[in-house]
Homo-oligomer: A and B are copies of this chain.
Amino acid sequence: MKTNIPAQTCDEDCPVRQASEIVGHKWTTLVVRDLMSGKKRYSELQRSISGISPRMLAARLKELERAGVVTRTVFPTIPPTTEYELTHLGRKLEKLIHALAEFGVALQRRR
């Protein structure tokens, strides 16, 4: 199913705008990409997304949690372990990540 993109003003009700408010951030898409292969600990995300600062990672995860895209589970280990997982809504971002990957490949071919 293709969602119709009307050739009209992109106001506050525009779905593309509302989606972009949540995932329109470079580091956010990288966090979602990483969680697509399954739940991850905070430390695993930190390691696999090279160059992300702990502060940036925490901020992006908090935003995704607030938006209902990611759940956070804290395990009472010593020290505590925190695991992040995509929600049902979050898994709907798969197409977006694939579209980004495809565009990235097109960019690389051009160079």
Contacts and interface: CB of A to CB of B under 8 A. Distances in A.
Interface of A: 1-5, 7-12, 14-30, 33-34, 36-38, 47-51, 67-68, 89, 92-93, 95-108, 110
Main secondary structure of the interface of A (DSSP, over half): helix
A73 B89 CA distance: 41
Copies in the complex: 2
A92 to B, nearest CB: 5
B89 A15 contact: no
A5 B101 contact: yes
Contacts of A98: 2-3, 5, 99
Contacts of A26: 17, 20-21, 24-25
B110 A89 contact: yes
Contacts of A108: 15, 18
